[in-house]
Amino acid sequence: MLQGLEALNLITANIEKVIVGKRREIQYVLVALLCQGHVLLEDVPGVGKTTLVRALARSLGCEFRRLQFTPDLLPSDVTGVSVYNQKTGEFEFRAGPIMSQVVLADEINRTSPKTQSALLECMEEGQITVDGVTRQMPRPFLVLATQNPIEYEGTFPLPEAQLDRFLLRLRLGYPSFDEERLIVARAKQPPLEDLEQVVSSDEVLGLQRDVREIHVESSIEEYMVTLVQATREHKDIYLGASPRGSIAMYRTSQALAMIRGRDYVTPDDVKETAPLVLAHRLIVKPEAQLRGAGAEQLVAEVMTQVRVPAGVRAYAAKHA
């Protein structure tokens, strides 16, 4: 457990050489990495989304590919295509940019739903099927997609099935005055080019196995399921979270506990991850939207209505 925590702290500190003042957001990206999940980064341009992804790939020593989504992008531009080789008389598969370890899907909502659907299989099952042949994705495999929430012209809304494939939805936000001063000072000598690898891919795979051993009390499991069930019964929510949301909350709580240096999950872990895991999976009723009620607000409302379990202290004391 201690070795895993040291590795996670090394990755965080290394990324912070480039990304200023966003430790919590960096840790959330590591949560997705530990859970073998994917992240939707929704924010305005220029706040460091691309830099964060590149810094993560460099820190892990993983192959990084950037895929710019445009209206004319085809599914084969994402997954790859089989090309006939006249010399050998056989078809050869030429892998698309998705066949990488860390993939930045930039402005994912600027391409058509047909092309967006090319990501569904690889994000959920870790494989792609082209011309009837299934190929496994490299390990570790992480998709970080960006979309701009204010530029709606020329964009396609992400379908529910695509949104459900993202483990977390994050926003970086603007830096504070002092943080931006430091960012400007660092611009004289961009640190990203000098960023070094601090862990190996094999170590990441080991962390992904270890995180599943984090203990979750049955009372906390019930707490998670009750939260998800409550989203389906709320009067302002048309479509609540699916069982995939319950599993996502379970896994992210385990990962957050590991990052916080514990081998057990607490209710606070669930409270912290619930808005990131659930909000983008909900469809809010139009009349609630007209009142200004957003998905994050409704998740917070649901959390106030569900009783928090209190049976974790005994386990914590026993394993202290």
pLDDT for 149 equals: 65
Backbone angles phi and psi of 210, in degrees to 5: -65, -35
Report phi then psi at 283, rounded to 5.
-115, 115
Percent of the chain with pLDDT over 70: 93
CA–CA separation, 24 and 8 (whole Å): 13
Half-sphere exposure of 49 (CA within 13 A, CB side): 25
What DSSP string describes 35-86?
TT--EEEE--TTSSHHHHHHHHHHHHT--EEEEE--TT--HHHHHEEEEEET
- Residue-wise DSSP of 120-182: HHHHHHSEEEETTEEEEPPSS-EEEEEE-SS--TT--PPPHHHHHT-SEEE------HHHHHH
Mutual orientation of helices 2-15 and 49-60 as an angle, nearest 10°?
Answer: 130
Above 90 in pLDDT, residue 96? no
pLDDT per position as a tens digit, 184-236: 887 776 677 778 899 998 899 999 999 999 999 999 999 999 999 999 988 88
Give me 195's structure tokens: 């960023």
Average pLDDT over every residue of 17-40 = 92
pLDDT 10s digits, 60-76: 988 999 999 888 888 88
Cβ(39)–Cβ(145) below 8 Å: yes
- For 313, half-sphere exposure in the C-beta direction (CA atoms, 13 angstrom radius) is 3
Is the distance from CB of 285 to CB of 237 less than 8 angstroms?
Answer: yes
Residue 151 has pLDDT above 60, yes or no: no
Which spans in 193-266 are helix H?
A: 201-210, 218-233, 243-259
pLDDT exceeds 90 at position 163:
no
Average pLDDT over residues 93-101: 87
Residue partners of 11: CB distance under 8 A and separation at least 6: 30, 56, 59, 60, 198, 199
For position 312, what pLDDT does the model report? 56
Position 91 scores a pLDDT of 79
Query: In the predicted model, is pLDDT for residue 316 greater than 60?
Result: no
Beta bridge partners of 81: 94
Residue type, 312: V
Looking at this protein, which amino acid is placed at residue 101? Q
Q: What is the mean pLDDT of the chain?
A: 86
For the chain, list the domains and their CATH numbers.
2-207 (3.40.50.300), 214-318 (1.10.8.80)
pLDDT at 88: 80
pLDDT of the residue at 159 = 79
